[in-house]
Amino acid sequence: MWSSRALLLALCALSVSLSLTVARDAPVKRYVVDLDTAPEEHFLPICQDPDIQAMIPMLKKDVKDMITSLVPEEALPLLDVLTSDLDQYLPHPFAGEMRGIANCTGINLGEIVTLNLAYDLTAFCTSIVAQDSKGTIWHGRNLDYGFGDFLRNITVMADFQTKGQTLYTTTTYLGYVGALTGQRPNGFTVSVDERDQGAWWMNALEALLNRQASLMSFLVRETLAEADSYDVAIERLAYTPLIAPVYFIVGGANVAEGAVITRDRTSALDIWTMNPAQGRWYVLETNYDHWEEPPAHDDRRTPGMKAMNTTGQDAINASSMFQVLSVPKVLNRHTTYTAIMSAAQPQVYNTWVRWPEAQAAGQKP
């Protein structure tokens, strides 16, 4: 059995080979999730969209392939236990939402649960939070995924609303109820990058079944829903027990609010903040601890920083951030989407699906 880490690292590190055809980076569709309905109904507007329905047969097959290649056999009985009493093991509203998605897609609940765990633990690659010369905070992220091909067609944005108001927005995939990228308007923005976790399946499942720890993506969604400021978000993301290590990259709505939280399971190991007054006007995280050199075979940090330095603080905005996230290696053939956010200007948030054949062009949004 391959470890997912090894597999995805290998995939993430493949050198980029580009063909120069027409770029077709495309903004993703956006839906409203009405939090005032039952959890089973939350994702129906996405799932019932005919464009998404057309992708479900492919999704079914890919889910099976992914589970076969990622999940160790000894984890399957634990997954069955989890699935058989989801409400006991997962916080509201996640269990109900997964049931609703299983019902709507015809994919069995056990597979939906596994899919949510698998995505949770394999999110590469690059996140940047920067402050421009006027003091506005920008947050950009690329999400690279080894099994990315089928994900591009089911990538969506969701505005989670209550009483007709957007409480928070995320970029997600059909079937995935957590959040790896999201924004609380006028509060904060957050993205998740994977951190080395070794053999995580068994540890993760045991922690979940003992109800000792959260999935990273659940914690992000709960934080988006409940934390009403950057500081509260940092606190919660830094100190809530998790099933595996991870990086949280957080941007705020006020000057100097930007940080990379390096997490192990129990707590933050390090909180690295921007410090524009002293010249550190951005923080950039890939999948390696910022105080260590990235490995030569997977250095996305150096090209990313070079592009940030060349762009400069005066010129950082949504489109130049997109350009930085389009330089070779930072953008690679596993990049499924690029998202740009700014908590103080929530209308800026958008997500573009990145198609490998478009990636030489690095188009502007």
Contact 207, 240 (CB under 8 A): no
Give exposure, 296-318, as e/b (b: 16+ Cβ within 10 Å).
eebebbebbeebbeebebeebbb
* 47 in active site: no
> Between 87 and 116, how does the x/- string for binding to ligand NAG read (CB under 6 A)?
------------xx--x-------------
CB-nearer residue toward ligand NAG: 191 or 342: 342
Give the total of residues touching ligand NAG (CB under 6 A).
14
Stretch that binds ligand NAG, among 128-136, 165-173, 253-261, 305-313 (CB under 6 A): 305-313
Whole-angstrom CA distances from 63 to 16, 95, 112, 116 are 26, 19, 8, 10
- Residue from 320, 332, 351, 359 touching ligand NAG (CB under 6 A): that is 320
Is 354 a residue that touches ligand NAG (CB under 6 A)?
no
CB-nearer residue toward ligand NAG: 90 or 205: 90
CA distance between the termini of the chain: 40
- Residue from 3, 69, 153, 254 touching ligand NAG (CB under 6 A): that is 153
- Residue from 86, 225, 305, 361 touching ligand NAG (CB under 6 A): that is 305
**Cβ-based neighbour number of residue 32 at 10 Å:** 13
Give residue for tokens 């236990």: 81
> Between 196 and 215, how does the x/- string for binding to ligand NAG read (CB under 6 A)?
--------------------
In the bound complex, what is the minimum distance in angstroms from residue 55's beta carbon to ligand NAG? 6
d(CA 150, CA 182): 21
Preceding amide of 93 cis, omega within 30: yes
Preceding amide of 125 cis, omega within 30: yes
Give residue for tokens 């309905």: 37
Is 186 a residue that touches ligand NAG (CB under 6 A)?
no
d(CA 27, CA 18): 21
CB-nearer residue toward ligand NAG: 175 or 245: 175
Stretch that binds ligand NAG, among 138-146, 175-183, 217-225, 301-309 (CB under 6 A): 301-309
In the bound complex, what is the minimum distance in angstroms from residue 315's beta carbon to ligand NAG? 4
Is 306 a residue that touches ligand NAG (CB under 6 A)?
yes
For the annotated catalytic residues, the residue numbers are: 125
